Structure 1
Amino acid sequence: MLILAIIAYAIVAFFEFRVLYKQKHWNDFWTNIVLGIFSLTIVVLLCLNVKIPSPAKPIQNLVTSIFGK
Structure 2
Amino acid sequence: MVILIILVYIIIGVVEIVPLVKKNQKKELILYSITFIAAFIMSILLSLGVKIPSPAKPIEKVVKMIIGG
Identical-residue share of aligned pairs (%): 38
Deviations 1:14-62 (A, max 9, x none): 0110001011111111211111111101101101111111111122222
TM-score by length of 2: 0.86
- Cα distance in structure 2, aligned partners of 1:26 and 1:36: 15
Deviation, 1:2, is: 1.2
Q: CA RMSD in A?
A: 1.3
Residue in 2 aligned with 1:57?
Answer: 57
**2:48 paired residue number:** 48
Gaps of 5+ in 2: none
Give aligned pairs, total. 69
Supply the distance in 2 between the matched residues of 1:61 and 1:45 (Cα, whole angstroms): 25
